[in-house]
């Protein structure tokens, strides 16, 4: 099992400190203070230092949002911040410029722990002996993984059920000097089922589902109830050779072994060229490691 951390060369992002159910992060030129339920340890810096360093702080409020069972809240800034700003990420010939903004659900449009997945997707597409391999990104959010595939030469399809998020991903594409991504606003499972019915196949599938969510017509998504059907459907639309799939899970109740066993059980009639699983983590200045998601990766 692998424990993967973003490269320390990422100039535009840093986890400064973590602890007491919070994290202190720098995105570009701004430092954000956000809740983090997995940071159960003590902080290394004093609360006075956190207050001094943070440009903006998120406070959880009451109520749930359409994106799932996650508390909404408010941001409090020391000074007026721009509505959005950009961070850059570079890996080999991949040069991403990603829009960052403060949302009411504490997210900012970039999940920095995903950087090792972006690298893997880029390298996987590059390794395929195909011209413009088709890659499908489901639950694709603001599109960093989509653009990693595109930059490597893929014919990329980006799907999310939220139109505003797809528009955000399109802005990231344009800012990153790319073009010709196919944008789809749809329910991920219904789209995958239709693709299977049509006989369409992909050389790469990126699957990053939330714990809870809704499709374009109010379809209910619950990870533990739907993930087996989703992965099984992805099997039917993944090319049997010269292909790869990345499954990423954020649910607190799922371990890397759950992801690995799920994928292994569904693809049990196939021989893997490569199969790995592990955790994506961030490491703060004091070497405390914060686990944020688990993954399973396969190649044929």
CATH code of the domain covering residue 175: 3.40.50.150
For range 239-249, the mean pLDDT? 97
Neighbours of 46 (CB within 10 A): 10
For range 93-101, the mean pLDDT? 97
Give the percent of the chain with pLDDT over 70.
Answer: 96
Residue 214's pLDDT is 87
d(CA 30, CA 276): 35
CATH of the domain at 38: 2.60.40.1180
Residue 270's pLDDT is 87
Q: In 3-state terms, what secondary structure has residue 278?
A: strand
Q: How many residues does the chain have?
A: 300
Same domain for 160 and 269, yes or no, is yes
pLDDT, tens digit (0-9, with 9 covering 90-100), for 6-34: 998 999 999 999 999 999 999 999 999 99
pLDDT at 74 over 70: yes
Please give the C-alpha separations between residue 52 and each of 12, 13, 165, 229, in angstroms, as whole numbers: 20, 18, 32, 48
pLDDT at 182 over 90: yes
Same domain for 224 and 155, yes or no, is yes
Residue 213's pLDDT is 86
Q: How many domains does the chain have?
A: 2
Same domain for 80 and 198, yes or no, is no
For range 251-272, the mean pLDDT? 92
Same domain for 183 and 241, yes or no, is yes
Same domain for 249 and 186, yes or no, is yes
pLDDT at 64 over 80: no
Same domain for 217 and 71, yes or no, is no
Residue 192's pLDDT is 98
Mean pLDDT of the chain: 94
Q: In 3-state terms, what secondary structure has residue 66?
A: coil
Burial of 234 (0-12, 13-18, 19+ CB in 10 A): buried
Same domain for 119 and 81, yes or no, is no
Q: Which domain covers residue 37, as residue numbers?
A: 2-85
Is residue 100 domain-resident? no
Residue 72's pLDDT is 84
Same domain for 27 and 71, yes or no, is yes
Please give the C-alpha separations between residue 131 and each of 173, 181, 197, 233, 242, in angstroms, as whole numbers: 21, 16, 25, 25, 12
Is residue 104 domain-resident? no
Least confident range of 26-35, 168-177, 247-256: 247-256
Same domain for 23 and 77, yes or no, is yes
> Which of 31, 51, 85 is the endpoint of a domain?
85
Same domain for 140 and 281, yes or no, is yes
Phi, psi (degrees; rounded to nearest 5) at 213: 180, 180
According to DSSP, the residues that pair with 2 across neighbouring strands are 278
Residue 205 banded pLDDT, cuts 50, 70, 90: very high
> Which of 85, 119, 139 is the endpoint of a domain?
85
């Amino acid at each position: 099992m692998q424990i993967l951390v973003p490269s320390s060369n990422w100039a535009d992002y840093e986890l400064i400190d973590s602890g007491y159910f919070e994290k202190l992060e720098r995105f570009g030129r701004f430092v954000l203070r956000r809740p983090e339920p997995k940071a159960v340890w003590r902080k290394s810096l004093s609360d006075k230092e956190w207050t001094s360093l943070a440009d903006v702080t998120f406070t959880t409020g009451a109520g749930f949002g359409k994106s799932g069972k996650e508390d909404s809240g408010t941001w409090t800034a020391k000074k007026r911040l721009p509505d959005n700003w950009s961070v850059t990420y570079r890996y080999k010939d991949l040069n991403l410029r990603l829009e960052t903004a403060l949302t009411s659900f504490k997210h900012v449009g970039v999940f920095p722990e995903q950087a090792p997945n972006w690298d893997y997707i880029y390298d996987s597409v590059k390794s395929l002996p195909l011209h413009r391999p088709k890659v499908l990104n489901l639950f694709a959010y603001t599109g960093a993984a989509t653009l990693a595939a595109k930059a490597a030469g893929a014919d990329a399809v980006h799907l999310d059920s939220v139109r505003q998020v797809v528009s955000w991903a399109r802005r990231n594409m344009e800012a990153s000097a790319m073009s010709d991504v196919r944008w789809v606003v749809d329910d991920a499972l219904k789209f995958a089922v239709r693709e299977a019915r049509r006989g369409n196949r992909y050389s790469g599938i990126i699957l990053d589902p939330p714990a809870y969510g809704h499709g374009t017509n109010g379809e209910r998504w619950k990870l533990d109830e739907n993930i087996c059907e989703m992965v099984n459907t992805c099997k039917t639309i993944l090319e049997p050779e010269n292909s790869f799939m990345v499954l990423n899970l954020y649910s607190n109740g799922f371990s890397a072994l759950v992801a690995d066993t799920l994928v292994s059980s569904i693809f049990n009639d196939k021989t893997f060229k490569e199969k790995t699983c592990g955790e994506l983590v961030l490491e703060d200045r004091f070497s405390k490691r914060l686990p944020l998601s688990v993954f399973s990766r396969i190649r044929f």
